[in-house]
Chain A
Amino acid sequence: MNTRTPKLLSVDDSKMIHMVIGKAFKNYNLELFYASNGVEGLAVATRENPDLILLDVTMPVMDGVETLTKLKSDPTLKDIPVIMLTAEAGKENVVRIAKIGIRDYIIKPFTEGLIAERVGRILDLQIKGQEEGKAKDLEDAANILVVDDKPAIIEQIKEAASSTPWKIIGVGQCAEGVDYTSKEVPDLILISLSMPERGAFNFYQMTRANARTKSVPIFGMSVKTAIEEQSTAQSMGFNAIITKPLDLGELMNRMTRAMNIDTSKRYFAEDKGVVYLTIPAQIDKFVQTDIGNHIVSKSKEMVESGQEKLVIDASKVSKIDMVIIKLFLQIIKSCRDLGVNYKVVGSSDFAEQAKAFEETKDLELFEDRAKALESF
Protein backbone atom coordinates (compact mmCIF):
# COMPACT_ATOMS: atom_id res chain seq x y z
CA MET A 1 0.00 0.00 0.00
CA ASN A 2 1.44 3.38 -1.02
CA THR A 3 1.42 5.80 1.92
CA ARG A 4 3.98 8.22 0.50
CA THR A 5 2.99 11.89 0.64
CA PRO A 6 2.45 13.11 -2.93
CA LYS A 7 4.69 15.90 -4.22
CA LEU A 8 3.39 18.92 -6.14
CA LEU A 9 5.65 21.41 -7.91
CA SER A 10 4.32 24.88 -8.74
CA VAL A 11 6.32 26.77 -11.37
CA ASP A 12 5.19 30.39 -11.51
CA ASP A 13 6.95 33.75 -11.37
CA SER A 14 4.27 35.18 -9.08
CA LYS A 15 4.62 34.78 -5.33
CA MET A 16 0.90 35.48 -5.13
CA ILE A 17 0.10 32.33 -7.13
CA HIS A 18 2.38 30.29 -4.87
CA MET A 19 0.57 31.69 -1.83
CA VAL A 20 -2.86 30.86 -3.25
CA ILE A 21 -1.71 27.32 -4.08
CA GLY A 22 -0.24 26.97 -0.59
CA LYS A 23 -3.59 28.00 0.94
CA ALA A 24 -5.54 25.69 -1.38
CA PHE A 25 -3.62 22.64 -0.17
CA LYS A 26 -2.92 23.57 3.46
CA ASN A 27 -5.39 20.95 4.72
CA TYR A 28 -4.01 18.14 2.58
CA ASN A 29 -1.10 15.80 3.01
CA LEU A 30 0.87 17.16 0.13
CA GLU A 31 4.51 18.17 -0.16
CA LEU A 32 4.72 21.46 -2.06
CA PHE A 33 7.72 22.75 -4.01
CA TYR A 34 7.99 26.11 -5.70
CA ALA A 35 10.05 27.47 -8.59
CA SER A 36 9.88 30.96 -10.09
CA ASN A 37 10.76 30.13 -13.71
CA GLY A 38 11.25 27.21 -16.07
CA VAL A 39 14.96 26.76 -15.40
CA GLU A 40 14.39 26.50 -11.66
CA GLY A 41 11.35 24.32 -12.30
CA LEU A 42 13.33 21.78 -14.34
CA ALA A 43 16.03 21.67 -11.64
CA VAL A 44 13.46 21.05 -8.87
CA ALA A 45 11.62 18.47 -11.01
CA THR A 46 14.88 16.56 -11.59
CA ARG A 47 15.77 16.67 -7.89
CA GLU A 48 12.34 15.92 -6.36
CA ASN A 49 10.59 13.88 -9.07
CA PRO A 50 7.16 15.41 -8.25
CA ASP A 51 3.88 13.59 -8.88
CA LEU A 52 2.38 16.65 -10.60
CA ILE A 53 3.58 20.00 -11.94
CA LEU A 54 1.51 23.19 -12.10
CA LEU A 55 3.12 25.29 -14.81
CA ASP A 56 2.58 28.95 -15.64
CA VAL A 57 2.92 30.05 -19.27
CA THR A 58 4.29 33.59 -19.10
CA MET A 59 7.48 33.65 -17.04
CA PRO A 60 10.89 35.30 -17.27
CA VAL A 61 14.11 33.33 -18.03
CA MET A 62 12.27 30.31 -19.47
CA ASP A 63 8.55 30.41 -20.20
CA GLY A 64 6.04 27.60 -19.65
CA VAL A 65 5.90 26.39 -23.24
CA GLU A 66 9.67 25.95 -23.45
CA THR A 67 9.72 24.32 -20.00
CA LEU A 68 6.97 21.90 -21.03
CA THR A 69 8.85 21.02 -24.24
CA LYS A 70 12.00 20.29 -22.25
CA LEU A 71 10.07 18.24 -19.68
CA LYS A 72 8.51 16.10 -22.39
CA SER A 73 11.84 15.51 -24.13
CA ASP A 74 13.55 14.32 -20.92
CA PRO A 75 13.10 10.53 -20.48
CA THR A 76 13.17 10.83 -16.68
CA LEU A 77 10.61 13.66 -16.49
CA LYS A 78 8.32 13.08 -19.47
CA ASP A 79 5.77 11.00 -17.53
CA ILE A 80 5.15 13.62 -14.83
CA PRO A 81 1.62 15.00 -15.44
CA VAL A 82 1.46 18.76 -16.04
CA ILE A 83 -1.41 21.17 -15.47
CA MET A 84 -0.92 24.50 -17.23
CA LEU A 85 -1.94 27.54 -15.22
CA THR A 86 -2.36 30.57 -17.36
CA ALA A 87 -4.28 33.77 -17.92
CA GLU A 88 -4.37 33.03 -21.66
CA ALA A 89 -7.30 30.86 -22.73
CA GLY A 90 -7.41 31.43 -26.49
CA LYS A 91 -8.26 28.32 -28.52
CA GLU A 92 -5.07 28.53 -30.57
CA ASN A 93 -2.98 28.81 -27.43
CA VAL A 94 -4.69 25.85 -25.76
CA VAL A 95 -4.33 23.64 -28.85
CA ARG A 96 -0.65 24.55 -29.25
CA ILE A 97 0.15 23.64 -25.63
CA ALA A 98 -2.08 20.56 -25.60
CA LYS A 99 -0.11 19.15 -28.53
CA ILE A 100 3.08 19.16 -26.45
CA GLY A 101 1.32 17.13 -23.76
CA ILE A 102 -0.63 18.36 -20.72
CA ARG A 103 -3.20 16.75 -18.46
CA ASP A 104 -5.30 19.84 -17.78
CA TYR A 105 -5.51 23.58 -18.28
CA ILE A 106 -6.58 26.06 -15.59
CA ILE A 107 -7.42 29.64 -16.48
CA LYS A 108 -6.42 32.41 -14.09
CA PRO A 109 -8.01 33.71 -11.97
CA PHE A 110 -8.99 30.51 -10.22
CA THR A 111 -10.40 29.68 -6.80
CA GLU A 112 -8.64 27.56 -4.17
CA GLY A 113 -11.49 25.04 -4.41
CA LEU A 114 -11.16 24.72 -8.18
CA ILE A 115 -7.45 24.02 -8.10
CA ALA A 116 -7.82 21.47 -5.28
CA GLU A 117 -10.57 19.74 -7.28
CA ARG A 118 -8.52 19.59 -10.51
CA VAL A 119 -5.37 18.41 -8.73
CA GLY A 120 -7.51 15.84 -6.87
CA ARG A 121 -8.45 14.29 -10.22
CA ILE A 122 -4.81 13.35 -10.74
CA LEU A 123 -3.39 12.91 -7.23
CA ASP A 124 -4.89 10.86 -4.42
CA LEU A 125 -5.28 13.74 -1.98
CA GLN A 126 -5.72 12.88 1.68
CA ILE A 127 -6.96 15.40 4.19
CA LYS A 128 -4.55 15.91 7.08
CA GLY A 129 -5.48 13.73 10.06
CA GLN A 130 -7.43 11.33 7.86
CA GLU A 131 -4.40 9.47 6.54
CA GLU A 132 -4.30 5.76 7.16
CA GLY A 133 -2.80 4.60 10.41
CA LYS A 134 -3.18 7.90 12.23
CA ALA A 135 -5.70 7.27 14.96
CA LYS A 136 -7.83 9.99 16.46
CA ASP A 137 -8.66 10.04 20.12
CA LEU A 138 -12.13 9.78 21.62
CA GLU A 139 -11.57 13.23 23.10
CA ASP A 140 -10.95 14.70 19.64
CA ALA A 141 -13.76 16.67 18.05
CA ALA A 142 -15.38 15.23 14.94
CA ASN A 143 -18.12 16.48 12.63
CA ILE A 144 -20.67 13.90 11.57
CA LEU A 145 -23.17 14.83 8.89
CA VAL A 146 -26.49 12.99 9.09
CA VAL A 147 -28.82 13.34 6.09
CA ASP A 148 -32.28 11.95 6.83
CA ASP A 149 -35.78 13.31 6.27
CA LYS A 150 -36.89 11.64 9.52
CA PRO A 151 -35.96 14.01 12.39
CA ALA A 152 -36.35 11.17 14.92
CA ILE A 153 -33.39 9.31 13.38
CA ILE A 154 -31.19 12.41 13.65
CA GLU A 155 -32.24 12.81 17.28
CA GLN A 156 -31.42 9.15 18.03
CA ILE A 157 -27.91 9.56 16.62
CA LYS A 158 -27.42 12.80 18.56
CA GLU A 159 -28.47 11.01 21.72
CA ALA A 160 -26.12 8.08 21.04
CA ALA A 161 -23.19 10.45 20.52
CA SER A 162 -24.05 12.73 23.45
CA SER A 163 -21.24 11.32 25.60
CA THR A 164 -18.64 12.17 22.94
CA PRO A 165 -17.31 15.54 21.78
CA TRP A 166 -18.63 14.77 18.29
CA LYS A 167 -20.85 17.33 16.61
CA ILE A 168 -23.83 15.83 14.79
CA ILE A 169 -25.01 18.02 11.92
CA GLY A 170 -28.51 16.86 11.00
CA VAL A 171 -30.11 17.94 7.71
CA GLY A 172 -33.40 16.85 6.18
CA GLN A 173 -32.54 17.22 2.48
CA CYS A 174 -29.70 16.07 0.25
CA ALA A 175 -29.27 19.62 -1.09
CA GLU A 176 -28.53 20.82 2.45
CA GLY A 177 -25.97 18.03 2.77
CA VAL A 178 -24.30 19.09 -0.48
CA ASP A 179 -24.27 22.67 0.74
CA TYR A 180 -22.59 21.60 4.01
CA THR A 181 -19.90 19.49 2.30
CA SER A 182 -19.08 22.36 -0.06
CA LYS A 183 -18.06 24.41 3.00
CA GLU A 184 -16.83 21.81 5.49
CA VAL A 185 -15.31 18.35 5.22
CA PRO A 186 -17.10 16.09 7.70
CA ASP A 187 -15.31 13.16 9.36
CA LEU A 188 -18.21 10.84 8.57
CA ILE A 189 -21.50 10.98 6.66
CA LEU A 190 -24.65 8.98 7.40
CA ILE A 191 -27.39 9.21 4.82
CA SER A 192 -30.79 7.58 4.49
CA LEU A 193 -30.90 5.46 1.33
CA SER A 194 -34.62 6.19 0.97
CA MET A 195 -34.19 9.93 0.34
CA PRO A 196 -36.47 11.02 -2.55
CA GLU A 197 -35.37 10.77 -6.19
CA ARG A 198 -32.38 8.52 -5.44
CA GLY A 199 -30.93 11.46 -3.52
CA ALA A 200 -28.59 9.34 -1.41
CA PHE A 201 -26.95 7.77 -4.47
CA ASN A 202 -26.55 11.10 -6.26
CA PHE A 203 -25.15 12.59 -3.05
CA TYR A 204 -22.68 9.68 -2.79
CA GLN A 205 -21.45 10.21 -6.34
CA MET A 206 -21.03 13.96 -5.85
CA THR A 207 -19.14 13.44 -2.60
CA ARG A 208 -16.81 10.87 -4.14
CA ALA A 209 -16.18 13.06 -7.20
CA ASN A 210 -14.98 15.94 -5.04
CA ALA A 211 -11.29 15.77 -4.12
CA ARG A 212 -11.95 17.30 -0.69
CA THR A 213 -14.58 14.77 0.33
CA LYS A 214 -13.73 11.67 -1.67
CA SER A 215 -12.11 9.92 1.32
CA VAL A 216 -14.88 10.69 3.83
CA PRO A 217 -16.54 7.45 4.99
CA ILE A 218 -20.22 7.28 4.00
CA PHE A 219 -22.76 5.01 5.72
CA GLY A 220 -26.11 4.28 4.11
CA MET A 221 -29.10 3.85 6.44
CA SER A 222 -31.97 1.67 5.34
CA VAL A 223 -34.86 -0.37 6.72
CA LYS A 224 -34.03 -4.07 6.91
CA THR A 225 -36.46 -5.08 4.18
CA ALA A 226 -35.24 -2.58 1.55
CA ILE A 227 -32.88 -5.12 0.01
CA GLU A 228 -32.67 -3.47 -3.40
CA GLU A 229 -31.44 -0.10 -2.17
CA GLN A 230 -28.97 -1.81 0.16
CA SER A 231 -27.62 -3.85 -2.72
CA THR A 232 -27.27 -0.73 -4.88
CA ALA A 233 -25.42 1.07 -2.08
CA GLN A 234 -23.07 -1.86 -1.57
CA SER A 235 -22.23 -2.09 -5.25
CA MET A 236 -21.59 1.66 -5.39
CA GLY A 237 -19.09 1.40 -2.54
CA PHE A 238 -20.83 2.83 0.56
CA ASN A 239 -18.51 2.12 3.51
CA ALA A 240 -21.26 0.47 5.54
CA ILE A 241 -24.99 -0.19 5.50
CA ILE A 242 -26.75 0.45 8.82
CA THR A 243 -30.20 -1.02 9.15
CA LYS A 244 -33.14 0.66 10.84
CA PRO A 245 -34.29 0.47 13.57
CA LEU A 246 -30.83 1.56 14.61
CA ASP A 247 -28.79 -0.54 17.02
CA LEU A 248 -27.09 2.45 18.61
CA GLY A 249 -24.32 0.42 20.26
CA GLU A 250 -23.40 -1.18 16.97
CA LEU A 251 -23.68 2.16 15.19
CA MET A 252 -21.26 3.82 17.66
CA ASN A 253 -18.84 0.94 17.22
CA ARG A 254 -18.89 1.28 13.44
CA MET A 255 -18.62 5.06 13.58
CA THR A 256 -15.52 4.96 15.81
CA ARG A 257 -13.89 2.38 13.55
CA ALA A 258 -14.74 4.31 10.36
CA MET A 259 -13.20 7.46 11.82
CA ASN A 260 -10.15 5.49 13.01
CA ILE A 261 -10.74 6.59 16.60
CA ASP A 262 -8.73 5.01 19.38
CA THR A 263 -11.26 4.27 22.14
CA SER A 264 -8.81 2.46 24.44
CA LYS A 265 -8.45 5.47 26.77
CA ARG A 266 -12.09 5.01 27.68
CA TYR A 267 -11.17 1.77 29.47
CA PHE A 268 -7.39 1.62 30.00
CA ALA A 269 -5.23 3.80 32.23
CA GLU A 270 -1.77 3.43 33.64
CA ASP A 271 -0.38 4.43 37.02
CA LYS A 272 3.04 3.60 38.47
CA GLY A 273 3.72 0.67 36.18
CA VAL A 274 0.29 -0.90 36.69
CA VAL A 275 -2.34 -0.95 33.93
CA TYR A 276 -5.97 -0.55 34.99
CA LEU A 277 -8.87 -1.80 32.90
CA THR A 278 -12.13 -0.26 34.08
CA ILE A 279 -15.22 -2.17 33.03
CA PRO A 280 -18.12 0.31 32.55
CA ALA A 281 -21.34 -0.08 34.55
CA GLN A 282 -23.37 -0.68 31.40
CA ILE A 283 -21.96 -3.27 29.07
CA ASP A 284 -23.63 -3.76 25.74
CA LYS A 285 -22.42 -5.54 22.62
CA PHE A 286 -20.56 -2.39 21.50
CA VAL A 287 -18.54 -2.16 24.73
CA GLN A 288 -17.85 -5.90 24.75
CA THR A 289 -16.58 -5.84 21.16
CA ASP A 290 -14.67 -2.63 21.79
CA ILE A 291 -12.81 -3.93 24.87
CA GLY A 292 -12.31 -7.28 23.15
CA ASN A 293 -10.70 -5.47 20.21
CA HIS A 294 -8.30 -3.62 22.51
CA ILE A 295 -7.32 -6.32 25.00
CA VAL A 296 -5.04 -8.36 22.73
CA SER A 297 -3.07 -5.36 21.47
CA LYS A 298 -2.96 -3.83 24.98
CA SER A 299 -1.62 -7.08 26.47
CA LYS A 300 1.09 -7.25 23.79
CA GLU A 301 1.95 -3.61 24.39
CA MET A 302 2.30 -4.33 28.15
CA VAL A 303 4.60 -7.28 27.58
CA GLU A 304 6.74 -5.36 25.10
CA SER A 305 7.12 -2.39 27.48
CA GLY A 306 7.90 -4.60 30.51
CA GLN A 307 4.59 -4.01 32.30
CA GLU A 308 3.09 -7.21 33.65
CA LYS A 309 0.44 -6.13 36.16
CA LEU A 310 -3.17 -5.63 35.08
CA VAL A 311 -5.98 -4.71 37.44
CA ILE A 312 -9.40 -5.44 35.98
CA ASP A 313 -11.76 -3.14 37.85
CA ALA A 314 -15.35 -4.39 37.66
CA SER A 315 -16.52 -2.54 40.76
CA LYS A 316 -19.02 -0.50 38.72
CA VAL A 317 -20.68 -3.64 37.35
CA SER A 318 -23.78 -4.56 39.34
CA LYS A 319 -25.22 -7.40 37.29
CA ILE A 320 -23.46 -10.33 35.67
CA ASP A 321 -24.84 -11.73 32.43
CA MET A 322 -23.46 -13.72 29.51
CA VAL A 323 -22.08 -10.58 27.81
CA ILE A 324 -19.90 -9.92 30.89
CA ILE A 325 -18.93 -13.57 31.21
CA LYS A 326 -17.79 -13.66 27.56
CA LEU A 327 -15.85 -10.46 28.03
CA PHE A 328 -14.07 -11.79 31.13
CA LEU A 329 -13.16 -15.03 29.36
CA GLN A 330 -11.71 -13.01 26.49
CA ILE A 331 -9.65 -10.80 28.83
CA ILE A 332 -8.38 -13.70 30.95
CA LYS A 333 -7.42 -15.75 27.88
CA SER A 334 -5.44 -12.86 26.46
CA CYS A 335 -3.61 -12.32 29.81
CA ARG A 336 -2.78 -16.02 30.17
CA ASP A 337 -1.59 -16.34 26.55
CA LEU A 338 0.87 -13.50 27.01
CA GLY A 339 1.83 -14.11 30.64
CA VAL A 340 0.26 -10.91 32.04
CA ASN A 341 -0.53 -11.06 35.81
CA TYR A 342 -4.07 -9.92 36.45
CA LYS A 343 -6.25 -9.28 39.49
CA VAL A 344 -9.97 -8.58 39.46
CA VAL A 345 -11.74 -5.97 41.61
CA GLY A 346 -15.48 -6.40 42.21
CA SER A 347 -18.18 -5.72 44.79
CA SER A 348 -19.44 -8.41 47.16
CA ASP A 349 -22.64 -8.51 45.14
CA PHE A 350 -20.57 -9.10 41.99
CA ALA A 351 -18.66 -11.90 43.78
CA GLU A 352 -21.90 -13.61 44.77
CA GLN A 353 -23.23 -13.51 41.22
CA ALA A 354 -19.91 -14.70 39.76
CA LYS A 355 -20.13 -17.88 41.84
CA ALA A 356 -23.35 -18.82 40.05
CA PHE A 357 -21.60 -19.19 36.69
CA GLU A 358 -19.38 -22.13 35.86
CA GLU A 359 -16.93 -19.90 33.98
CA THR A 360 -16.40 -17.46 36.88
CA LYS A 361 -17.07 -19.48 40.01
CA ASP A 362 -13.35 -19.79 40.84
CA LEU A 363 -12.53 -16.15 40.02
CA GLU A 364 -10.52 -14.53 42.83
CA LEU A 365 -12.01 -11.10 43.57
CA PHE A 366 -10.67 -8.14 45.59
CA GLU A 367 -12.74 -5.48 47.30
CA ASP A 368 -10.78 -2.53 45.94
CA ARG A 369 -7.74 -1.58 43.88
CA ALA A 370 -5.41 -1.23 46.89
CA LYS A 371 -6.05 -4.80 48.01
CA ALA A 372 -5.64 -6.06 44.45
CA LEU A 373 -2.27 -4.28 44.20
CA GLU A 374 -1.06 -5.77 47.51
CA SER A 375 -1.76 -9.27 46.23
CA PHE A 376 0.65 -9.06 43.26
Chain B
Amino acid sequence: MASLEIDDGSKIIDSEAPTNFSGVTGNVSVTGKTIGILYLNMPERLAAEIASGLMGSSPDSISVDDVNDVVGELTNMVTGNLKSKMCDQGYPCTLSIPTVLRGSDINIDSVEKEIVLSGELSINSTEHKVNICLFAKLEK
Protein backbone atom coordinates (compact mmCIF):
# COMPACT_ATOMS: atom_id res chain seq x y z
CA MET B 1 0.00 0.00 0.00
CA ALA B 2 2.70 2.47 1.04
CA SER B 3 5.44 0.86 -1.10
CA LEU B 4 7.79 0.53 1.87
CA GLU B 5 10.44 -2.18 1.80
CA ILE B 6 12.24 -2.85 5.06
CA ASP B 7 15.90 -3.55 4.41
CA ASP B 8 17.48 -6.78 5.61
CA GLY B 9 19.12 -6.45 8.99
CA SER B 10 16.47 -4.24 10.57
CA LYS B 11 15.00 -5.76 13.73
CA ILE B 12 12.97 -5.01 16.81
CA ILE B 13 14.90 -5.45 20.07
CA ASP B 14 14.37 -5.16 23.84
CA SER B 15 15.61 -1.73 24.69
CA GLU B 16 15.97 0.83 27.42
CA ALA B 17 13.47 3.66 27.87
CA PRO B 18 13.16 6.59 27.45
CA THR B 19 13.32 7.00 23.68
CA ASN B 20 14.06 10.15 21.78
CA PHE B 21 12.26 11.04 18.56
CA SER B 22 12.28 13.80 15.94
CA GLY B 23 10.01 14.23 12.94
CA VAL B 24 6.48 12.87 12.72
CA THR B 25 5.30 10.33 15.29
CA GLY B 26 2.00 8.47 15.32
CA ASN B 27 0.78 6.75 18.45
CA VAL B 28 -2.06 4.42 19.33
CA SER B 29 -2.97 3.30 22.85
CA VAL B 30 -3.99 -0.22 23.76
CA THR B 31 -6.27 -1.07 26.70
CA GLY B 32 -7.62 -4.35 28.04
CA LYS B 33 -5.59 -7.40 29.00
CA THR B 34 -2.75 -5.69 27.18
CA ILE B 35 -2.14 -2.09 28.25
CA GLY B 36 0.33 0.11 26.45
CA ILE B 37 1.14 2.49 23.67
CA LEU B 38 2.86 2.07 20.32
CA TYR B 39 4.80 4.84 18.61
CA LEU B 40 5.70 4.92 14.92
CA ASN B 41 8.20 7.64 14.09
CA MET B 42 9.76 8.76 10.84
CA PRO B 43 11.58 11.81 9.43
CA GLU B 44 9.32 14.51 8.05
CA ARG B 45 10.67 14.01 4.51
CA LEU B 46 9.95 10.26 4.48
CA ALA B 47 6.46 10.88 5.92
CA ALA B 48 5.81 13.43 3.15
CA GLU B 49 7.08 11.02 0.48
CA ILE B 50 4.89 8.16 1.71
CA ALA B 51 1.85 10.41 2.03
CA SER B 52 2.34 11.98 -1.41
CA GLY B 53 2.67 8.52 -2.96
CA LEU B 54 -0.65 7.50 -1.44
CA MET B 55 -2.48 10.77 -2.01
CA GLY B 56 -1.21 11.38 -5.52
CA SER B 57 0.55 14.72 -4.95
CA SER B 58 4.16 15.89 -4.68
CA PRO B 59 6.11 15.63 -1.38
CA ASP B 60 6.74 19.38 -1.47
CA SER B 61 3.11 20.37 -1.77
CA ILE B 62 1.35 17.85 0.44
CA SER B 63 -0.41 19.36 3.46
CA VAL B 64 0.55 18.70 7.09
CA ASP B 65 -2.96 17.34 7.73
CA ASP B 66 -2.60 14.76 4.96
CA VAL B 67 0.83 13.66 6.22
CA ASN B 68 -0.59 13.34 9.77
CA ASP B 69 -3.52 11.33 8.42
CA VAL B 70 -1.21 8.88 6.65
CA VAL B 71 1.19 8.47 9.61
CA GLY B 72 -1.79 8.01 11.97
CA GLU B 73 -3.34 5.37 9.70
CA LEU B 74 -0.04 3.51 9.30
CA THR B 75 0.36 3.49 13.10
CA ASN B 76 -3.18 2.15 13.37
CA MET B 77 -2.33 -0.66 10.96
CA VAL B 78 0.82 -1.65 12.84
CA THR B 79 -0.99 -1.55 16.20
CA GLY B 80 -3.99 -3.38 14.75
CA ASN B 81 -1.68 -6.16 13.67
CA LEU B 82 -0.19 -6.30 17.17
CA LYS B 83 -3.68 -6.31 18.69
CA SER B 84 -4.71 -9.28 16.53
CA LYS B 85 -1.73 -11.28 17.71
CA MET B 86 -2.26 -10.34 21.36
CA CYS B 87 -5.96 -11.26 21.17
CA ASP B 88 -5.10 -14.65 19.67
CA GLN B 89 -2.60 -15.19 22.54
CA GLY B 90 -5.30 -14.56 25.17
CA TYR B 91 -4.72 -10.87 25.80
CA PRO B 92 -7.77 -9.17 24.23
CA CYS B 93 -7.57 -5.43 23.99
CA THR B 94 -9.05 -2.41 22.22
CA LEU B 95 -7.33 0.42 20.37
CA SER B 96 -7.60 4.16 20.64
CA ILE B 97 -7.94 6.53 17.69
CA PRO B 98 -4.40 7.40 16.45
CA THR B 99 -2.87 10.76 17.33
CA VAL B 100 0.21 12.37 15.79
CA LEU B 101 3.07 14.30 17.40
CA ARG B 102 5.38 16.60 15.53
CA GLY B 103 8.64 18.17 16.66
CA SER B 104 12.24 17.42 17.48
CA ASP B 105 13.99 15.94 20.48
CA ILE B 106 10.84 14.45 22.00
CA ASN B 107 11.53 12.10 24.92
CA ILE B 108 9.06 9.31 25.47
CA ASP B 109 8.83 7.16 28.58
CA SER B 110 6.25 5.12 30.46
CA VAL B 111 5.73 4.93 34.21
CA GLU B 112 4.39 1.39 34.41
CA LYS B 113 6.26 -0.27 31.61
CA GLU B 114 7.03 -3.96 31.84
CA ILE B 115 7.90 -4.43 28.23
CA VAL B 116 9.87 -1.96 26.16
CA LEU B 117 10.54 -2.91 22.56
CA SER B 118 12.05 -0.68 19.94
CA GLY B 119 13.51 -0.92 16.50
CA GLU B 120 15.07 1.19 13.83
CA LEU B 121 14.02 0.05 10.38
CA SER B 122 15.94 1.03 7.27
CA ILE B 123 13.52 1.76 4.46
CA ASN B 124 13.79 1.30 0.69
CA SER B 125 17.62 1.18 0.88
CA THR B 126 17.76 4.90 1.70
CA GLU B 127 19.12 6.82 4.65
CA HIS B 128 15.56 7.09 5.98
CA LYS B 129 14.81 5.25 9.22
CA VAL B 130 11.47 4.37 10.73
CA ASN B 131 11.43 3.95 14.51
CA ILE B 132 8.93 1.77 16.30
CA CYS B 133 8.62 1.79 20.06
CA LEU B 134 6.21 -0.14 22.26
CA PHE B 135 5.64 0.29 25.99
CA ALA B 136 3.34 -2.40 27.35
CA LYS B 137 2.14 -4.27 30.39
CA LEU B 138 0.24 -7.56 30.38
CA GLU B 139 -2.58 -8.12 32.86
CA LYS B 140 -2.12 -11.37 34.76
Contact = CB atoms under 8 A, between A and B. Distances in A.
B80 A16 contact: no
Interface in A110-157: 110-111
Interface in A98-115: 108-111
Contacts, number: 70
Interface residues of B, number: 26
A15 interface: yes
A38 to B, nearest CB: 13
B13 interface: no
Interface centre among A59, A88, A108, A111 (most CB of B within 10 A): A88
A14 B97 contact: no
B1 A19 contact: no
Interface string A55-78: 000111000000000000000000
Given A89-B80, A109-B1, A16 B92 contact: no
Interface in B54-103: 54-56, 66, 69-70, 72-73, 76-81, 83-88, 92, 95, 97
A15, A16, A86, A91, most chain B CB atoms within 10 A? A16
Given A23-B56, A58-B97, A16 B85 contact: no
Give the secondary structure class of B's interface. Answer: helix
Contacts of A20: 1, 54
Contact of A17 (B73, B80, B85): B73
Given A16-B51, A16-B70, A58 B76 contact: yes
A280 B69 CA distance: 61
Given A15-B66, A93-B84, A109 B97 contact: no
B138 interface: no
A92 interface: yes
Nearest to B67: A16
A66 to B, nearest CB: 13
A13 interface: yes
A170 B73 CA distance: 43
Contact of B69 (A14, A23, A86, A88): A14
Given A14-B69, A58-B95, A19 B80 contact: no
A196 interface: no
A58 B73 CA distance: 10
A58 B94 CA distance: 9
Nearest to A86: B80
B73 A16 contact: yes
Contact of B1 (A15, A60, A91, A110): A110
B76 A19 contact: no
B92 A109 contact: no
A16 B66 CA distance: 8
Interface in A6-58: 13-17, 19-20, 23, 58
A298 B69 CA distance: 56
A87 interface: yes
Nearest to B95: A58
A90 interface: yes
Contacts of B80: 58, 86-89, 108
A14 B73 contact: yes
Contacts of A60: 97
27 contacts: A13-B97, A14-B73, A15-B66, A15-B69, A19-B54, A58-B76, A58-B80, A58-B97, A86-B80, A87-B76, A87-B77, A88-B80, A89-B80, A90-B83, A90-B85, A90-B86, A90-B88, A91-B87, A91-B88, A93-B84, A93-B87, A108-B73, A108-B76, A108-B80, A109-B2, A109-B77, A111-B1
Interface of B: 1-2, 51, 54-56, 66, 69-70, 72-73, 76-81, 83-88, 92, 95, 97
Interface of A: 13-17, 19-20, 23, 58-60, 86-93, 108-111
